[in-house]
Amino acid sequence: MNVREGLVEIEVPEVFSKGPGKRSIAYYSRSMVISRDLTIFIIRNYLKEGGRALDLLGGSGVRGLRIEKECNMDVTINEKNREALKFIHRNKELNGSNARITECNAERCFPDGFYDYIDIDPYGTPVPFLDGAFKSIRNKGIIGITSTDVSNLAGTNPDKTFYLYHSIPERNYLKHEVGMRILIAYVSKRAAEYGFGIEPLLSYFGGYYYRIFLRVRRGKKWAVGSLSYVQEIFGRGYFRKIGPLWIGNLHSNAEYTIPSNLESEKEILNLLRISNDENLLFFYSTEELGRFSGGIMPRIDNLINRLREQGYRASRTQFSPVGLKTNCTLPCILKILKMKDL
């Protein structure tokens, strides 16, 4: 069957409306459109046209073909699965593409060359692909990384979190923000081994996956600077240390434009709207606040408005539907909760 996304049309054997699909076939997931739209958004805002991009785990080829057509880049699409490769070749022809198609086993080797953008979108953890990425990325290039390894990063299997990412997770309402920050911290440490520092440009939680976009900068100053944001800290649960995790920003505060033809424009704008406040470390849950305040369960939007009226930063967060990001202290929040008409 044929589907259209962005400015390309592709042929795929199967379409999934939810979830990550299946490993190692050229499936097409509708729920991942926002992930690919964010790729276009990042490249258009942070890289110049005419550079080189690598779609490392090509699948159907839709991401690489969109990068070529919508970002005017010289694209390499890599895929080792023979069945998927058939669809990539068909879709290249269908779209009149000039993309280079390679068949490397990405866990062992990368296609030759250096790239301004590398996309790593695996089924599971991105860990096996990081060494190759840092050997192949250009200075000031960008790496887009997906992890569907959410259960391990978010603490469902803390032993696996420790031996895969060398970190202790959180297992309460903060688990997904902590999981995202553990992933960024791990990537930062691996980057430093190759003389790079990282700068998170945008971080997205898609329910069953984490998606991060990082600019890399070569040099001791950048590597050491990034590592200074990788720390162990005390979590809010169990009175124990968690991490190491990334305590710096999750998003860049640079000015941006929204490219046309993005199906997920509304969702991206909502993410960008809260991105400045989401750089604050951790959030409060209104359920937690209700327990602290003797059962008073605040309406989150009313509380956000009241905090802003008091001069504090406050917004929702992508990590929880009852989450509140603010620089207001807990004692002050509890005082505000006692006000009438909240």
Rounded to the nearest integer, the mean pLDDT of the chain is: 93
What pLDDT score was predicted for residue 17? Answer: 55
What pLDDT score was predicted for residue 13? Answer: 82
- Tokens 């003797």 belong to 294
What pLDDT score was predicted for residue 258? Answer: 95
State whether residue 51 is helix, strand or coil. coil
Gap between the Cα atoms of 107 and 124, Å rounded:
13
Gap between the Cα atoms of 114 and 53, Å rounded:
9
Gap between the Cα atoms of 42 and 44, Å rounded:
6
8-state DSSP, 230: E
The pLDDT confidence band at residue 31, using thresholds 50, 70 and 90, is confident
Supply 177's token pair.
Answer: 């923000």
Contact present, 231 and 244 (Cβ < 8 Å): yes
Across residues 186-191, what is the average pLDDT? 98
Supply 82's token pair.
Answer: 């023979």
| Chain Cα centroid distance, residue 337 | 33
Q: Which CATH architecture best describes the domain 2-264?
A: 3-Layer(aba) Sandwich (3.40)
What pLDDT score was predicted for residue 339? Answer: 78
Gap between the Cα atoms of 310 and 298, Å rounded:
16
Topology, domain 284-337: Phenylalanyl-tRNA Synthetase; Chain B, domain 1 (3.30.56)
The H or E element that residue 20 is part of is none
Across residues 88-110, what is the average pLDDT? 96
8-state DSSP, 168: B
What pLDDT score was predicted for residue 210? Answer: 98
The reported pTM is 0.95
Peptide bond into 244 cis (omega under 30): yes
CA nearest 314: which of 94, 41, 302?
Answer: 302
Residue ranges covered by each domain of the chain? 2-264, 284-337
| Residue 191 clears pLDDT 70, i.e. is over it | yes
Q: b vs e for 45-63, b when ≥16 Cβ sit within 10 Å of the residue's Cβ?
A: bbbeeebbbbbbbbbbbbb
258-281, pLDDT tens digit by residue? Answer: 998 899 999 999 999 999 999 999
Gap between the Cα atoms of 329 and 312, Å rounded:
10
What pLDDT score was predicted for residue 295? Answer: 74
Looking at residue 332, its amino acid is C
The pLDDT confidence band at residue 28, using thresholds 50, 70 and 90, is confident
273-304, pLDDT tens digit by residue? Answer: 999 999 999 999 998 898 887 777 778 999 99
